[in-house]
């Protein structure tokens, strides 16, 4: 039985991994910041050396864009130094490590999907700190999987629930029409993570559900599937009610995944419908 350590297990992706893993296949160590502060190298080493997991999945992170801008030291402490500590202990105990990353490592100025080999150019503190975390992982251990995704939603705070809460007011909701990405369910991402760690196809992957849409089109589909009626107003990002300033073009090309044929994601609409059904929100 393989030992797997999920750091950040209370987050959307951590919860999703726990929901899809086979309990007879893994002995699971779930930790969040209250159990192990990944930015504390001594805590990380104690936990890693005592439990000696075969796989470490780093789902921890400070993800609130505005908070990161206001608290850059904390963003780097968790997103960069935390990743460094986990990768160092992974190398010491010969464990594989999965680093969950983001499209925010790119500047969003492209007009075509970003491949894994495109040069990152983050514009936000969040993106810069996540890129620093990626670089530490690549520097300290070769048995790594850096997985970039975008517009992830699952159990917890996310865009879907924010939108549905906003429409309850009966007021028009302003939604960004100039942001493009691939809504990706945490469950689909979790399935990919558990699949990829079973092999040795190490490296960086762009992992998203299939297809692309604007944030506005995404919102319209959410309302359509949940049977809600509301007035949506297509606006620039800066005028949006629900979206912080992020890279305008957040479309990732799963170039490496296509080459090595390791996994095939569902379309973003299929996975959205599945999520809404599981949450009891699908009413189409």
Q: What is the pLDDT of residues 130-167, one digit of tens each?
A: 999 999 999 999 999 999 999 999 998 899 999 999 99
Looking at residue 45, its pLDDT comes to 97
**Do 100 and 57 touch, CB atoms closer than 8 A?**
yes
Using one digit for the tens of pLDDT, what is the confidence trace for 35-50?
999 999 999 999 999 9
Counting other chains too, the contacts that 194-199 makes at CB distance below 8 Å and 24 or more residues apart are: 194/17, 194/20, 194/21, 195/262, 195/263, 196/98, 196/145, 196/147, 196/262, 196/263, 197/55, 197/57, 197/96, 197/98, 197/145, 199/262
* pTM listed for this prediction: 0.95
153: nearest Cα among 242, 36, 30, 231? 242
pLDDT for the residue 13: 97
CA-to-CA separations, 154 to 27, 67, 112, 281, in angstroms, rounded: 23, 21, 27, 13
d(CA 134, CA 145): 10
User: Which runs of E-coded beta strand occur in 113-177?
Assistant: 144-149, 152-153, 173-176
Q: pLDDT per residue over 228-261, tens digit each?
A: 989 999 999 888 887 776 778 999 999 999 998 8
Strand ranges, E, within the chain? 2-7, 26-31, 55-58, 96-102, 144-149, 152-153, 173-176, 180-181, 184-185, 203-206, 213-214, 232-235
Domains in the chain with CATH codes: 2-157+182-210+249-266 (3.40.50.720)
Please state, for a pLDDT cut of 90, what percent of the chain lies above it: 90
Mean pLDDT of 206-224: 97
Least confident window among 81-85, 175-179, 246-250, 253-257? 246-250
Q: Is the pLDDT of residue 58 over 90?
A: yes
């Amino acid at each position: 039985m393989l030992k797997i350590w999920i750091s950040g297990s209370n987050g959307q992706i951590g919860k999703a991994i726990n929901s899809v893993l086979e309990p007879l296949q893994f002995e699971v160590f779930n930790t969040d910041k209250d159990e192990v502060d990944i930015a504390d190298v001594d805590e990380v080493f104690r936990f890693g050396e005592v439990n000696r997991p075969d796989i470490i999945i780093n789902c921890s992170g400070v993800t609130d864009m505005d908070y990161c801008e206001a608290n850059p030291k904390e963003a780097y402490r968790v997103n960069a130094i935390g990743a460094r500590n986990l990768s160092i202990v992974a190398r010491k105990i010969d464990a594989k490590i999965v680093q969950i990353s983001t499209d925010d490592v790119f500047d969003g100025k492209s007009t075509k999907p970003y491949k894994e080999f495109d040069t990152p150019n983050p514009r936000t503190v969040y993106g810069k700190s996540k890129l620093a975390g990626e670089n530490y992982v690549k520097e300290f251990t070769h048995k790594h999987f850096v997985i970039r995704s975008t517009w992830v939603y699952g159990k917890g705070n996310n865009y879907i629930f924010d939108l549905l809460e906003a429409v309850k007011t009966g007021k028009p909701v302003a939604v960004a029409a100039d942001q493009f990405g691939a809504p990706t369910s945490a469950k689909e991402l979790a399935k990919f993570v558990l699949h990829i760690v079973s092999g040795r196809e190490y490296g960086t992957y762009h992992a998203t559900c299939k297809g692309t849409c604007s944030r506005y089109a995404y919102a319209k589909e959410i309302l359509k599937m949940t049977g809600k009626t509301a007035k949506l107003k297509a606006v620039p990002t800066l005028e949006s009610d629900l979206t912080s300033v992020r890279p305008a073009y957040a479309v990732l090309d799963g170039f490496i995944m296509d080459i090595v044929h390791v996994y095939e994601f569902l379309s973003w609409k299929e996975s959205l419908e599945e999520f809404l059904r599981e949450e009891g929100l699908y009413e189409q």
